[in-house]
Amino acid sequence: MSGIQTPSWSLATCRDGAGAASLAVLLEDGTLLAAPELKRWDTMLDLLDDWATAEPVLRRLELEGVPSVNDVGLVAPLRYPRKLICAGVNYRRHIKEMGADVPAEGWHPFFFLKPPTTTVIGPADPLTVHDRERTRYDWEAELAVVIGRGGRAIPVESALDHVAAYAVANDVTARALHKRTAVPAAPFVYDWVASKAIDGSFPMGPGLTPAFLVPDPQDLRLRLWVNGELQQDESTGDMICSVAELIAAASQVMTLEPGDVIATGTPSGVGAPRGRYLRGGDVVRVSIDGLGSIENTVQEP
């Protein structure tokens, strides 16, 4: 069961017909509200850079009577994360479905990066699959963690204090390009860039739900459907390393900054074990209870 209490809301970025972007409050029913308090920040990154000021403002946000925004489209809430850090396998059943065993002990999280400026797309943007037979795009529903307070070597105990917000994401992966066939030596077997860094391979949204509205990030139900057919359905409680542990581990490697996003790994139910990959016309919907849903239609150029 999710610990989320309703009603919840998130911070969205919307764009009007003239291309101007602005911040708004997104309610669970899809209503966008032009909260005047948000006008002091031009972009979500500005708001996150100012998180110490923004958080108390958001906690006091009064939504009663705030006018709704119309004639705008929802775009990626955070179009340019400062860094986009992704956890490698982090759910037990997903390790098994990929043909490996979970080590009994001594597990340490590991990460890869997606380019922060070219992979993020919005919650309803088309998802472009290139060269389908050769690349084999697969889905990975994930909880995304947005950093509001930076740091290095952050202790696990205080790691969640660094989180500004949470969002729904899909770490789209070109599965066939991950393992190389002809390599000179073992260190060169995996190509994380070819499989993970593809343009538009990180649909995210619909908004950023402030962490203070999420009582327990390890108690969120995460689901993914392709064409209405349920593929993934687990709780973030099934993570091997918790959100706090991932933040602590990532911050041992690199300094975390406001606006960084950490994708926390995907549960079981990806397409690879069944040989089901994305193709033009597929509709991929990812939802996390309390954080909303994203839905991207696959197109092939």
Which residues bind to Mg ion, rule: CB under 5 A?
140, 171, 266
CB of 85 vs Mg ion, minimal distance in Å: 11
Q: Closer to Mg ion at the Cβ: 210 or 265? A: 265
CB of 211 vs Mg ion, minimal distance in Å: 21
Q: Closer to Mg ion at the Cβ: 12 or 224? A: 224
Q: Closer to Mg ion at the Cβ: 47 or 121? A: 121
Q: Closer to Mg ion at the Cβ: 2 or 266? A: 266
Two structure tokens written together for 138: 């697969």
CB of 50 vs Mg ion, minimal distance in Å: 30
- Entry field: residues in the chain: 301
SS (H, E, C) 217-242: CCCCEEEEEECCEEEEEEEHHHECCC
DSSP state of 274: G
CB of 35 vs Mg ion, minimal distance in Å: 33
CB-based burial label for 23 (10 Å; 0-12, 13-18, 19+): buried
Position of minimal CB gap to Mg ion: 171
Contact 248, 155 (CB under 8 A): yes
Helix, strand, or coil here: 147?
A: strand
Two structure tokens written together for 116: 């922060």
Q: Closer to Mg ion at the Cβ: 74 or 249? A: 249
CB of 261 vs Mg ion, minimal distance in Å: 12
